[in-house]
A and B are shown apart, each in its own frame.
Chain A
Amino acid sequence: MASINIAGREVELDEDGFMVNPDDWTEDCAKYFSSGEGISELTEDHWKVIHYLRDYYKQFQIAPMIRKLCKETGCSLKYIYELFPSGPAKGSCKLAGLPKPTGCV
Chain B
Amino acid sequence: MPTYKDMVQPVRASEAEMRKIHIEPVPDDQKCEKAIQYLDEIRKKYRSFVMAMESCVKCGACAENCHTYLGTKDPRNIPTNRAELIRKIYKRYFTLEGRWFGKLVGAEDISLDVIEEWYSYFYQCSQCRRCAMACPFGIDTCEVTFIGRQILHWLGIVPKLHMGVGAAMEKVGNHTGLPKPGIVDTLEFLSEEIMDEFGVEVNFPVDKPNSDILYIPSSADYLLNPYTLMGAGMYFTYIGANWTIPSTVSEAGNFGLLFDQYFTQRHNVTRLLDAAQNLGIKKIVWGECGHGWRAAKMYIPSLADRPVNWPITHIHDEVAYHIRTNQLKLDPNKVDHPTTLHDPCNYTRACDLQENLRTVIKACVADFREMYPNKERTFCCGGGSAILFDDPEMYQRRIQLSAKKAELVRATGVGKDGNGYLCAPCSICKAQLYPMVEEHELGVEVKGLIDLVGKALVWK
Q: Which A residues lie at the B interface, using CB under 8 A?
A: 1, 15-16, 59-68, 89-90, 99-105
Contacts and interface: CB of A to CB of B under 8 A. Distances in A.
Contacts of B168: 102-103
A68 B176 contact: no
B222 A104 contact: no
Given A104-B175, A104-B386, A104-B431, A65 B222 contact: yes
A65 B179 contact: no
Interface stretch (B114-122, B158-166, B399-407): B158-166
A67 B386 contact: no
Given A90-B390, A104-B386, A62 B179 contact: yes
Nearest to B255: A103
Nearest to A64: B186
A63 B14 CA distance: 24
Contacts of B179: 60-62
Contacts of A65: 186, 189-190, 222-224, 226
Contact of B178 (A62, A66, A67): A62
Contacts of A63: 223
Interface in B285-312: 289
Main secondary structure, interface of A, reads loop
A62 B226 contact: no
A37 to B, nearest CB: 13
Contacts, number: 81
Interface in B168-216: 168, 174-179, 181-182, 185-186, 189-190, 193
Contact of A89 (B165, B222, B223): B223
B141 interface: no
Given A102-B161, A105-B223, A59 B189 contact: no
Given A102-B161, A103-B164, 14 more contacts: A1-B14, A15-B14, A59-B181, A60-B181, A60-B182, A68-B189, A102-B165, A102-B168, A103-B165, A103-B219, A103-B223, A104-B175, A104-B388, A105-B388
12 contacts: A15-B11, A60-B182, A61-B177, A62-B176, A62-B182, A63-B223, A102-B165, A103-B220, A104-B175, A104-B386, A105-B176, A105-B431
B160 A15 contact: yes
Interface pairs A-B: 7 shortest CB-CB:
A103-B175, A104-B427, A60-B182, A104-B220, A102-B164, A103-B176, A62-B182
